[in-house]
Amino acid sequence: MQMLSAIGGAMWGAVAQGILWGIMALGVYITFKVLDFADLTVDGSFATGGAVSAILISLKVDPFLTLLVSLAAGMLTGIITGLLHTKFKIPAILAGILTQIALYSINIRIMGDKPNIPLLGSTTIFSQLQKVFPGLSYDTITILLGLALSAVIIAALYWFFGTEIGCCIRATGNNEYMVRALGGNTNSMKVLGLMLSNGLVALSGALVAQQQGYALVDMGTGAIVIGLASVIIGEVVFGKRFNFAYCLASVVIGSVLYRVVIAIVLQLGMKATDQKMITAILVALALALPVIRKWLFPNGKKKQPASRAAQ
């Protein structure tokens, strides 16, 4: 019973963390799935969001306002990666790596040449909400706020990618040569997509920093892998049914499932240092699941003969 109670408590905290990290996964989804751009800026821009929010809170800036500043800072990192790729013809992966490496030093400067900024005793969004709703636990407040923000972001993305510019970004990811043939500026669409993606990543970093009570210069290490794991788990579990909003929601749920699985495994005795290995196994299993299904059920779905289908 004690073990089950510990697992239940860990799962509730994992859900809270998963929703906040799910906003980062939405940013990863935009670049990897919509734009078809392998952007590795994420590890740096996530920490940038946390660093900007933490240093502003330590300077007594309103915590809600720091989210907007972090969003803008993340967009700027996306613009830099986009310009390196589109204007200077640097390959996508290398452009993201260069920006990510530079951001480590930049984040240190933002944090006042310190590797971390503690927020204990400082006013954050979550401490403010806890005063407004004293009957709710810290994790419950995190979940409710995360759900509200995720719903707003998904609705905004669903609307944006239905506009002419949004459709052009999606078309650039599908076939940029066709977009160019039709007179579209694919370079601008790539920069805009990267700006939007890294803005969401930095926003997630700011929320995570406020929720955990500190910002680290390397808090984004492995964020790209976590984001990809969330995207893949969401796609494998929920598929690509219905509309674009459904796909976006499945990414956030995939992030929650990832965190829940990690929490359960750690509660069962695995070490915290094994988290990277667990992540790699989860992603590998998610990617290999279609092949495994074919092995287990080789005659699961047979195509009907053409004559019978016509009838």
Give the mean pLDDT of 156-175. 96
Q: Is 60 exceeded by the pLDDT of residue 257?
A: yes
Q: What's residue 300's pLDDT?
A: 63
Give the mean pLDDT of 199-220. 97
pLDDT digits 0-9 by tens, 110-124: 999 999 999 988 999
Q: How confident is the model at residue 5 (pLDDT cuts 50, 70, 90)?
A: low
Give the mean pLDDT of 174-195. 94
For residues 169 and 33, the answer to whether their CB atoms sit within 8 Å is no
- pLDDT > 90 in the chain, percent: 73
Q: Nearest to residue 239, comparing CAs of 254, 224, 225, 227?
A: 254
pLDDT digits 0-9 by tens, 235-248: 888 877 778 999 99
pLDDT digits 0-9 by tens, 212-232: 999 999 999 989 989 999 999
Burial class (CB in 10 A: 0-12, 13-18, 19+), 263: buried
Q: What Cα–Cα distance (Å) separates residue 200 from each residue in 24, 97, 135, 249?
A: 6, 18, 30, 15
Q: How confident is the model at residue 187 (pLDDT cuts 50, 70, 90)?
A: very high
Mean pLDDT of the chain: 91
Q: Is 80 exceeded by the pLDDT of residue 4?
A: no
pLDDT digits 0-9 by tens, 29-79: 999 999 999 999 999 999 999 999 999 999 999 999 999 999 999 999 999
Q: Is 80 exceeded by the pLDDT of residue 102?
A: yes
Q: What's residue 293's pLDDT?
A: 78
Q: What's residue 7's pLDDT?
A: 64
Q: Is 70 exceeded by the pLDDT of residue 303?
A: no
Q: What is the DSSP string of 198-211?
A: HHHHHHHHHHHHHH
Domain map of the chain by residue range?
A: 2-293
Query: What six digits make up the tokens of 87?
Result: 């204007």
**98-102: long-range contacts, CB 8 A cutoff, minimum separation 24:** 99/41, 99/44, 100/40, 100/41, 100/42, 100/43, 100/44, 101/44, 102/44
Scanning the structure block, which residue is given the tokens 């509309």?
Answer: 243
Which of residues 50 and 301 earns the better pLDDT score? 50
Q: What's residue 282's pLDDT?
A: 83
Q: What's residue 307's pLDDT?
A: 46
Average the pLDDT over each of 99-108, 145-154, 219-228 and give the range with the smallest value. Answer: 219-228
Specify the pTM.
0.92
Q: Is 60 exceeded by the pLDDT of residue 311?
A: no
Q: Is 60 exceeded by the pLDDT of residue 310?
A: no
Radius of gyration of the chain (CA): 21
Q: What is the CATH number of domain 2-293?
A: 1.10.3470
Give dist(CA 139, CA 6) in Å, integer: 15
Q: What's residue 271's pLDDT?
A: 84
Give the mean pLDDT of 289-302. 77
